[in-house]
Amino acid sequence: MGRRFFGTDGIRGRVGEPPITADFILKLGWAAGRALVSQGCNKVLIGKDTRISGYMFESALEAGLSAAGLDIALLGPMPTPGIAYLTRTLNACAGVVISASHNPYYDNGIKFFARDGAKLPDELEARIEALLDEPLTTADSAALGKAERIEDARGRYIEFCKSTLPSRISLRHLKIVVDCAHGATYHIAPSVFSELGAQVVPMGVSPNGLNINDGVGSTQPELLRQAVIAERADLGIAFDGDGDRVAMIDGNGRVLNGDDLLYVIARDRLRAGQLPGGAVVGTLMSNLGLEVAFNELGIDLHRAKVGDRYVMQLLNQHGLMIGGEGSGHIICLDRTTTGDGIVSALQVLAAMVTADVTLAELTGGMSQYPQHLVNVPVAKQQDPAGSKRIQEAVRQAELELGVRGRVLLRPSGTEPVIRVMVEGEDEGQVASLASALAGTVREAMAG
């Protein structure tokens, strides 16, 4: 669509650099408000993660939305999926999330949910972008939006998360280390698991505005792995800064990513006769080992483009319920409307308790192929498909890998990098090919 600002997961960048500036976010709030008002909208929710710039952008969004004539309900720090849930249950017509997910504190971003808790349609995002070119106007004083703070938002979302675990299942007898990445789940996730009976060892629950995702969380699970071993815990659970991703650590200290967890959830749904279509949605990046394991179970794997919005599109297109990414975005449409780290972790625990096995035993039916990913920085968004030199290098790598390997090159939807992924049976070969391909991409893109 050639959109200037919206990527696969909203608008994101470094704070203070366009477009992540106070004046732009004010204008974005107004443009979004105008677009929503034209559809009969009258109330929008705003939630955020714990990074320090959230205060500034919350105020800017509030002013812009109010100027457009929309009422605002402020949720404070709240996981992204919690904002999607509350958008539905509080009868708002949209929800706005201030977060840069797993990025460092000096980045931030904005993403929107529609009234059903799903991402905004592409057409509405395009309409918002078009309005950004118009001069900001202010509604008549009598029509300006008012703001209120929702005091019980945390409790509402905790109860929802708990409700996604079947009532017959208790987490008693489980000791769990819960890493909240000093992010939006810090005051929610430990309560969810402890209220369901688990003995919880919390970490990453002291946000100061600057430490979100700093050495902790789902993208940096080493401290959690060490804590699980030191505490002799049954497992560990790690969320990213906004709580829509999850990674887990089994009792042996092995890190389990989204592909491992998707396998566990899908197999459990299949066992219970609750896997419509006998199929699951992954992405182009989903491990080949996941596809092999699903084939052995008789489960089809549909591959979407990378990004949870594309996983969602394919789920809806085929009438399926379960999908996800290796990054830890897991979507269980039979439980909620969007990727939710806490809900996904609970589904894994439900499978574990039902089978009465350890997490390590639960994931034993799947072996991931070695997969090497190299991010090649580029000056601007570029597509490697336009380079004959790169395409010839890809073809040669695919010939060397044979039928038991894959090569994937794609521009990131959230940052200025080309992602180079090579996957195969031999780890040394995979790493060597990925490094060589990344060098070719680096040289070709610089030229």
Instruction: For residue 81, tell me if it sits in a domain.
Output: yes
Q: What is the mean pLDDT of residues 34-39?
A: 96
The dihedral sign for the CA sequence 30, 35, 41, 46: negative
Left (φ > 0), alpha (ψ -120 to 50) or beta: where does 400 sit? alpha
Task: Tell me if 281 is assigned to some domain.
Answer: yes
- pLDDT range class, residue 1, cuts 50, 70, 90: very low
Question: Same structural domain for residues 33 and 145?
Answer: yes
Domain co-membership, 98 together with 178:
no
Do both 187 and 131 map to the same domain? no
Q: Is the pLDDT of residue 44 over 60?
A: yes
* 170 in catalytic set: no
The answer to whether 247 and 177 have CB atoms below 8 angstroms apart is no
| β-strand pairing of 330-332 with 406-411 | unpaired
123 secondary structure, DSSP code: H
Q: Tell me the three state secondary structure of residue 199.
A: strand
> Would you tell me how many other CB atoms lie within 10 Å of the CB of residue 269?
20
User: Exactly one of 66, 101, 191, 344 is catalytic; which is it?
Assistant: 101
Helix, strand, or coil (residue 94) = strand
| 242 within domain boundaries | yes
Give me the pLDDT at residue 323, please.
98
Can you give the CATH number for the domain in which 183 is found?
3.40.120.10
pLDDT at 228 (0 to 100) = 98
Provide mean pLDDT across the span 286-302. Answer: 95
Q: What is the per-residue pLDDT for 447?
A: 63
Same domain, 145 and 22: yes
pLDDT band of residue 326 (cuts 50, 70, 90) is very high
Residue 135 has pLDDT above 60, yes or no: yes
The answer to whether residue 246 is domain-embedded is: yes
**What is the average pLDDT score of the chain?**
94
Residue 158 lies in a domain: no
Structural domain contains residue 1: no
Same domain (yes/no): 146, 46 = yes
Per residue in 243-268, pLDDT tens?
999 999 999 999 999 999 999 999 99
- pTM, 2 dp: 0.91
Examine the fold and report which residue of 220, 255, 290 is the final residue of a domain before the chain moves on: 255
pLDDT band at 4 (very low <50, low <70, confident <90, very high): confident
pLDDT score at 381: 62
For residues 413 and 381, give the distance between their C-alpha atoms in angstroms, rounded to a whole number.
9
Query: What is residue 119's predicted lDDT score, i.e. its pLDDT?
Result: 84
Q: What is the mean pLDDT of residues 406-426?
A: 87
Residues 246 and 284 in one domain: no
* Residue 159 lies inside a defined structural domain of this protein: no
pLDDT of the residue at 414: 67
Report the pLDDT value the prediction gives residue 382, as an integer from 0 to 100: 65
pLDDT tens string 363-413:
999 999 999 999 999 876 667 777 889 999 999 999 999 988 999 998 876
My answer on whether 68 and 128 are in the same domain is yes
Dihedral angle of Cα 110, 111, 113, 114, to the nearest 10 degrees? 90
Q: What is the pLDDT of residue 410?
A: 86
Q: Which of the two residues, 182 and 308, has the higher pLDDT score? A: 182
Cα–Cα distances (Å) from 424 to 136, 197, 287, 289, 439, in that order, read 53, 41, 10, 9, 19
**Does residue 34 lie in a domain region?**
yes
Instruction: State the pLDDT confidence band at 416, using cuts at 50, 70 and 90.
Output: confident
Statement to judge: residues 113 and 21 lie in one domain = yes
Whether residue 2 is predicted with pLDDT greater than 70 in this model: the reply is no
Co-location of 68 and 113 in the same domain:
yes
CA distances in angstroms from 336 to 86, 165, 169, 344, listed in the order given: 11, 12, 19, 10
One domain, residues 17 and 93: yes
Tally the domains of the chain: 4
| Full residue range of the structural domain in which residue 296 is found | 257-342+351-362
Residues 177 and 117 occupy one common structural domain: no
* pLDDT, mean of residues 417-427: 93
> In this structure, how many other beta carbons lie within 10 angstroms of the beta carbon of residue 179?
31
Do 305 and 394 lie in one domain? The reply is no
Residue 35: pLDDT band by 50, 70, 90 thresholds? very high
Please say which residue of 311, 328, 362 terminates a domain: 362
Q: Which of 211, 228, 255 is the last residue of a domain?
A: 255
Predicted confidence band of residue 445 (pLDDT cuts 50, 70, 90): confident
